Structure 1
């Protein structure tokens, strides 16, 4: 019975942390990509094993850019929050034979 209460407490805590990170105050701190990275596109579902990472990897392998990063962001649509992965790419071709 204790494990049920512990699970409920953990779930409540995780939900509180998640909802806190989605508050407007959290959005006040704008995220900036590292120098040299530019926004390319956004993909539904976040970065972990999703389209964002796949497109980023493909672009590096095909020589379209030299590096990439995916930044997960929550966006609200019709009162429902969804996870997206924003793809940022770095295309410093100097010295790479392009």
Structure 2
């Protein structure tokens, strides 16, 4: 039994490591320091080098990004709530069916 467990462990560990490395490469981890989507990354350019109009544009764009992120979070919360209500209703229906027998 111990030999089988060791054999499985020796086969699974390299597989998991290879899958992790493949996932990291697919996500872009380790490439130029990028981790995740570009919109989550802070803007690296200094605001001091921008003109007043460009700074205004940056503020407007960031404001729209924050607004869209908030709207996305609200919609996801709403959908999650609707999902939970529907699942509870379906579970009640299942319970009623099993009680009927």
TM-score, with length taken from structure 1? 0.27
**Structure with more contact order per residue of length (Cα contacts < 8 Å, sep ≥ 6):** 1
Q: Computing the radius of gyration over CA atoms, which structure comes out larger, 1 or 2?
A: 2
Greater strand content: 1
TM value normalised by structure 2? 0.26
Larger helix percent = 2
